[in-house]
Amino acid sequence: MAIRTLDDAAVDGDAVGVRVDINSPLDESGGLADDARLHAHVETLTELANRGARVAVLAHQGRPGGDEFGRLEPHAERLDELLDAPVDYCDATFSAEARAAVEALDPGEVVVLENTRFYSEEYMEFDPERAAETFLVDGLASVLDAYVNDAFAAAHRSQPSLVGFPARLPAYAGRVMEQELDVLGGIDETPEPRAYVVGGAKVPDSVTVAQHALESGLGDVVLTTGVVANVFLLAAGHDLGEASADFVRQQGYWEEIDRAADLLDRYGDRIRVPTDVAVERDGHRHVLALDEFPPASDEAVMDIGPDTVETYVAELASAGTVVLNGPAGVFEDETFADGTRDLFAGVAAADAYSIVGGGDTASAIRRFDLTGFDHVSTGGGAALRLLTGEELAAVRALDQ
Ligand SMILES: Nc1ncnc2c1ncn2[C@@H]1O[C@H](COP(=O)(O)OP(=O)(O)O)[C@@H](O)[C@H]1O
Ligand SMILES: O=C(OP(=O)(O)O)[C@H](O)COP(=O)(O)O
Q: Which atom of ligand 2 is nearest to the CA of 361?
A: 7
**Annotated binding residue 61:** yes
Evaluate whether residue 142 is within a structural domain.
Answer: yes
Residues 57 and 12 in one domain: yes
Q: Is the pLDDT of residue 114 over 80?
A: yes
C-alpha of residue 303 to centroid of ligand 1, in Å: 10
C-alpha of residue 226 to centroid of ligand 1, in Å: 6
Evaluate whether residue 125 is within a structural domain.
Answer: yes
**Res. 88 pLDDT band, cuts 50 70 90:** very high
Residue nearest atom 11 in ligand 2 by C-alpha distance: 154
Residues 174 and 195 in one domain: no
Residue 332 in contact with ligand 1 by CB distance below 6 A: yes
Kindly list the distances between the CA atom of residue 53 and the CA atoms of 11, 19, 213, in Å, as whole numbers in the listed order. Answer: 5, 14, 41
Output the ligand 2 site: residues, CB below 6 A. 21, 23, 63, 153-154, 157, 202, 358-359, 379-381
Residue 326 in contact with ligand 1 by CB distance below 6 A: yes
Residues 19 and 151 in one domain: yes
pLDDT single digits (tens) 48-61: 999 999 999 999 99
**Annotated binding residue 17:** no
Evaluate whether residue 1 is within a structural domain.
Answer: no
CATH number (domain holding residue 289): 3.40.50.1260
From 182, 202, 233, the end of a domain falls on: 182
Evaluate whether residue 332 is within a structural domain.
Answer: yes
pLDDT single digits (tens) 91-106: 999 999 999 999 999 9
- pLDDT given for residue 400 in this prediction: 75
- pLDDT given for residue 245 in this prediction: 96
- pLDDT given for residue 202 in this prediction: 96
Give the ligand whose atoms come closest to the C-alpha of residue 365.
1
From 136, 156, 182, the end of a domain falls on: 182
Q: How many domains, in total, are found in the chain? A: 2
From 182, 214, 229, the end of a domain falls on: 182
Evaluate whether residue 396 is within a structural domain.
Answer: no
**Res. 2 pLDDT band, cuts 50 70 90:** confident
C-alpha of residue 209 to centroid of ligand 2, in Å: 14
pLDDT single digits (tens) 255-306: 999 999 999 999 999 999 999 999 999 989 999 999 999 999 999 999 999 9
Rounded-to-integer distance, Cα 127 and Cα 157, Å? 11
Evaluate whether residue 365 is within a structural domain.
Answer: yes
Give the residue numbers spanning the domain of 249: 187-386
pTM of the model: 0.92
State the average pLDDT over residues 183-190: 91
**Annotated binding residue 44:** no
Closest C-alpha among 204, 253, 200 to residue 229: 200
C-alpha of residue 229 to centroid of ligand 1, in Å: 11
**Annotated binding residue 237:** no
State the average pLDDT over residues 74-101: 98
Residues 200 and 177 in one domain: no
How long is the chain? 400
**Annotated binding residue 332:** yes
Residues 342 and 301 in one domain: yes
Residues 242 and 381 in one domain: yes
Residues 44 and 162 in one domain: yes
